[in-house]
Amino acid sequence: MKPQPPSRIVFVTPGGVEAGGGMGRITGYIVDELSRRGQTGDLVVLDPRGGGSVLASPWHLLRACARLLAMALRGEVAVVHVNTSERLSYPRKGLLMQLARLLGLPVIAHMHGADFMPYFDRASALERWWVRRVLRTSQKVVVLGDSFRRHAIEQVGLPAAQVVTVFNAIPDLRREQPQSARRPLPFAAGRPARLLMLANISARKGADSLLTAAAALRAAGHDFHLTLAGGGEIRQFQTMAAELGLAPVTDFPGWVDRAGAHRLLLEADALVLPSRAEGLPIAILEALALGTPIVTTPVGAIPEVLRDGETALIVPPGDAASLTAALARLITGATSAAALAEAGRRLYERSFAIEGFCDRWLALYAEAIGALGRPLPAWAAAPATAARAA
């Protein structure tokens, strides 16, 4: 009997599916969709960092390398999908990607780092050399928006044919959340407005701007409750909230898993993400899918997909006064939150459904496998044919 080609897709995701932040969520969504198509046995997630102490990170990295080596020696690995960010991501992921290269495995680098561009531009010559070497190891480098693609080509120096823009996508959460059909209109009269930040709580995500804006809203007499959900610098911002007199109307539930994030989005009147740097946040796509109005900033790939006043309210990063004004317009009804939610849902349906997204990834996997002259597994043959025809 003719031996079958290797079929496993190996995802390298720091923190894994549950503790990996946005990278973990997008990995989980891809795995779920491909599993739904019957590829459960072909999917493996390796965690090179772990979700606990940073001191344990080298152990997780070595264990991930050992698992990749064992699978490769057994002839099981079709392609390696490596999720990267910035800074220490490249020493960790670089080791795995160099190992994959030595083993002759196809590699796709999936760049998520919101701060990658300023990091790379300020990095030492040695760091820049290593990042280029790591990324050139891969057959394809996938970025989240066209601004990231231009930087990868013009500043990092990657060949244009190697760099591909693929916007993130998610499953239809309304199908998975029956209660979404019964959610009340946002900012309904007679109760406090429910404002949600769903992110790693930090200044980069704009937690300071949000708390400053919330204090101004409270001083103006607006009735609301603010939830800042996620890991990060929680104690620092709890202290800031207390100093601003926001403790009675603010809570910090800490890290939440996917189910918890979806529940919070269903309960919220608006997702508020006033980041100073971003890729394309999964929380924004989840809000679009669930019909939760969005207030955010024009950073990363966000302005490539959202339009101010149409699918979101967009304010300058670090501008607490503009953020206050935008939230006040929603709370008072001066801007229709329902119209934003409906337009956002239509945008999700047009552009961010998981089915087409996974088709694109399967085609990229097939292209990477074919570039090394390796035989295509059964799941790759159809996407590869479609990609060549296009």
pTM, to two decimals: 0.88
pLDDT, tens digit (0-9, with 9 covering 90-100), for 2-44: 667 889 999 999 888 877 678 888 999 999 999 998 877 789 9
Query: How does residue 190 score in pLDDT terms, banded at 50, 70 and 90?
Result: confident
Q: Where are the domains of the chain?
A: 8-169+353-389, 173-351
Three-state secondary structure call for residue 51: coil
Query: How does residue 390 score in pLDDT terms, banded at 50, 70 and 90?
Result: very low
Measured distance CA(285)–CA(171) in Å, rounded:
10
Measured distance CA(182)–CA(214) in Å, rounded:
28
Q: Do the domains spanning 8-169+353-389 and 173-351 agree at the CATH topology level?
A: yes
pLDDT, tens digit (0-9, with 9 covering 90-100), for 210-258: 999 999 999 999 999 999 999 999 999 999 999 999 999 999 999 998 8
pLDDT, tens digit (0-9, with 9 covering 90-100), for 128-148: 999 999 999 999 999 999 999
Displacement of CA 371 from its chain's centroid (Å) = 27
- pLDDT exceeds cutoff 90 at 202: yes
Taking domain 8-169+353-389, whether its CATH number is 3.40.50.2000 is answered by yes
* Higher per-residue confidence, 68 vs 174: 68
Three-state secondary structure call for residue 121: helix
Tokens found for residue 271: 């997702």
Residues 6+ away with beta carbon under 8 Å from 127: 90
> What angle do helix axes 21-36 and 354-371 make, rounded to 10 degrees?
90
CATH class of 173-351: alpha beta
